[in-house]
Chain A
Amino acid sequence: MAEMLKTIEEIGKVNASFPFTEPARKWKEQGKKIVGWICINVPEEVIHAAGMMPFRLTGGNEEISLDLANEYLFSGGTCSFSRTILELQLRGEYGFLDCIAGATPCEGVIRLAEVGSYYHNIPTLPLLDTPRKFNDLAYKFYHGEVMEFKKNLEKFFGVTITDEAIVDSIALYNKTRTDLKKLHDLMKSNTPPLSGAEMLEVLNAAVRMPREDFNTLLEKLLEEIKTTGRSLPAAPRIMISGALLNTPSFVQSVESLGVNVVVDDFCNGSRYWWEQVEDGDPWKALAKRYLLPKCSCPRINPPQNRTDWISQIAKDFRLDGIIALTMRCCAPYILNLPMWKTRLEDEGVTVLDLDIEYGGGFSGQIRTRIEAFVEMLSLEVEI
């Protein structure tokens, strides 16, 4: 096993105290505000430019019981991701948030926002209305939504967001994207510098601390990789795909079976950092970027861009296999998966369709299925 990286240890500490992370605590102690956001269609830059710290609502490092949430969101239908967030909200663990910003990407997240705002006491801003396609019409529409979001934030906190501030915030967030891209480019190596589990720690921390500080850590990490020349042994290369995943322990268990998880397509992974905000009118650029035209969310129509994107990732990262984590009741993912699975299989990538709950562990049948999948990739013996 390769030596532990100091920066990764530091990053791990940020996540250890989730949800009220140490950096968030310090931020609040300075009397500053934190805005919780739920879906990647919410432009973080706007929150940052308003002087607040954006904080992403997710589940923690392990699966939790959802007894409270199940009272209010129907457990048979609403995905465990939405119910996990509601559970944490109802338990009061998200009490440090000054307000919540959400969007309307899918049924689970929409109803989470509506039901949540009725039963917990964190104010919820009007949802950003997110179209299900991208064309000029959708960009124009979403531009209006982003402007509305700006106004709502300004009104709620009594602040003004200047154009200078938004340009600066965009530059700061683009820097994160550039550096995360650099980090992922290193993962294209046969002997990647990070494990997938470590990468997930990095991605988790990105949205749980002030961005300036995260960017510093990220630079440090890139530097440390360079100076130590850290690399992991070559192994079959896989991507974990899914709605989103926040539990590094799961990735670690997968990797312990003898594979390297070199990339993902998660909402909190590639989809989060892949695309830059372009130059030009900052508000229009934000609207375009946050509809994720290239690496789109599974709910977007038509599904072609997403299929092409995943196929391209598979080539760029020279993937042997993909584990598609199908969170139960995530209709967009379930209905999108068949659209690209066959194509990737035809291109020689083995795809495992694995149903699992958000935050779910690595036990029994799940383990057997993943192990059998890894054997399909690696058990090459002459009989």
Chain B
Amino acid sequence: MAEKKEYFRWVESTYVNPEMDWKKADIISAGIDVGSVSSQMVVLCDGQIYAYSNTRSGSSSPKSANNAMDLCLKDIPGLTFDRINYLIGTGYGRVNIPFAHKAITEISCHALGANFMYGPSVRTVLDMGGQDCKTIHIDEKGKCLSFLMNDKCAAGTGRGMEVFAEMLKVPVTEIGDMSLDVAEEPEAVSSTCVVFAKSEASGLLKSGWSKNMVLAAYCKAMATRILELLTRIGVEKEFAITGGIAKNKGIVKRIEKLIGVEALIPKYDTQIAGALGAAMFANAIYKKQNKKMSAA
């Protein structure tokens, strides 16, 4: 029997900066972001990105956190958990990360992570994650000034995208490009609710639409839905996108077109923004605590 292909799969990844040596670092801080779809760990050496991992979330938050850590540390000889000075958990599963020193919401972490990833000029952050979307206004230091969250619903999220990939038998990572490869932009599907959109899509396929056209219609619907969150918070330049859906060009391009503002080009894996922010907080908090201690 042929192995069943899982179209929702995306490549889990790791990164280690070969030019850095963790043994020389004064402070090693880390952040773990346990989301509903994916989990990440970022390790900083004295505030600089040293390593990260990006993996699918498991059946429970502690397990997901463990997976992310195992994956991240496995390629770094000698670095073990005990050597990490401070670790902060974030994301949907943040309170259930057993080895975290502290939990901080994904909102504050994405704000700070985006500030690092895209620079101090970023004012508006759109985080498109596994189960919800957020828009965040930040200042030049990456501090959250205000935020909006959409309702918990698979529409316009990574989970919804995965469901769609399975249904159309299209690898989830190719959806964006395919959706842009259409002769003419179709009308958006009328419902972004995954359940309804699925039946609407199968109707379109039956009536002779190409997969690309259906994907274009779905991506457009998701972009329109996200537009509401952006309009409500008010897009101030610069504008940056974080989270898994930031990798879907089909949605990003359409959002950019709708708001008339281009998003900054990411230099890192957009999915690590939350864990990165958490690791930065960890670094800062550890420094502050040590300062206090040495002062005492």
Contact = CB atoms under 8 A, between A and B. Distances in A.
Interface in B113-145: 132, 141-145
A54 B283 CA distance: 57
27 contacts: A364-B152, A365-B132, A365-B149, A365-B151, A368-B92, A368-B106, A368-B149, A369-B149, A371-B105, A372-B107, A372-B108, A372-B144, A375-B105, A375-B108, A375-B144, A376-B108, A376-B144, A379-B108, A379-B143, A379-B281, A381-B281, A381-B284, A381-B285, A381-B288, A383-B112, A383-B141, A383-B284
A382 interface: yes
A383 B280 contact: yes
Nearest to B92: A368
Contacts of A376: 108, 143-145
B97 interface: no
Given A379-B281, A383-B284, A368 B112 contact: no
B147 interface: yes
B129 to A, nearest CB: 12
B105 A368 contact: yes
Contacts of B105: 368, 371-372, 375
Contacts of B108: 372, 375-376, 379
A372 B284 contact: no
A9 to B, nearest CB: 30
Given A364-B152, A369-B149, A372-B147, A379 B280 contact: no
Contacts of B145: 376
Contact residue range for chain B?
20 to 34
Nearest to A371: B105
B246 interface: no
Contacts of B288: 381-382
Interface string B269-296: 0000000000011011101100000000
Interface string B85-120: 000000010000000000011111000100000000
Interface in B34-68: none
Contacts of A372: 105, 107-108, 144, 147
A368 B38 CA distance: 18
Which of B107, B152, B288 has the most chain A CB within a 10 Å cutoff? B107
Contacts, number: 44
Nearest to B95: A367
Contacts of A383: 112, 141-142, 280, 283-284
Contacts of A381: 281, 284-285, 288
Interface string A158-180: 00000000000000000000000
Which of A365, A368, A372 has the most chain B CB within a 10 Å cutoff? A372
A263 B272 CA distance: 39
Which of B92, B108, B152, B280 has the most chain A CB within a 10 Å cutoff? B108
A196 B237 CA distance: 39
Contacts of B132: 365
Given A375-B104, A379-B108, A383-B283, 14 more contacts: A365-B151, A368-B92, A368-B149, A371-B105, A372-B107, A372-B144, A375-B105, A375-B144, A379-B143, A381-B281, A382-B284, A382-B288, A383-B141, A383-B142
A237 B125 CA distance: 28
Contacts of A364: 152
A73 B231 CA distance: 34
B109 to A, nearest CB: 9
A356 to B, nearest CB: 13
A323 to B, nearest CB: 14
A376 B143 CA distance: 8
Which of A365, A376, A379, A383 has the most chain B CB within a 10 Å cutoff? A383
Contacts of B144: 372, 375-376
A322 B104 CA distance: 20
Nearest to B142: A383
Contacts of A379: 104, 108, 143, 281
A46 to B, nearest CB: 44
Q: Which 5 A-B pairs have the closest CB atoms?
A: A372-B107, A381-B284, A372-B105, A375-B108, A371-B105
A383 B276 CA distance: 13
A319 to B, nearest CB: 17
Interface in A350-383: 364-365, 368-369, 371-372, 375-376, 379, 381-383
A257 to B, nearest CB: 10
A379 B112 CA distance: 12
A371 B106 CA distance: 10
A364 B93 CA distance: 10
B107 A375 contact: yes
A102 to B, nearest CB: 33
B142 A368 contact: no
Contacts of A375: 104-105, 107-108, 144
B6 to A, nearest CB: 28
A328 to B, nearest CB: 12
A375 B112 CA distance: 12
Contacts of B280: 383
B50 to A, nearest CB: 17
A365 B105 CA distance: 11
A306 B280 CA distance: 42
B30 to A, nearest CB: 16
Interface string B176-195: 00000000000000000000
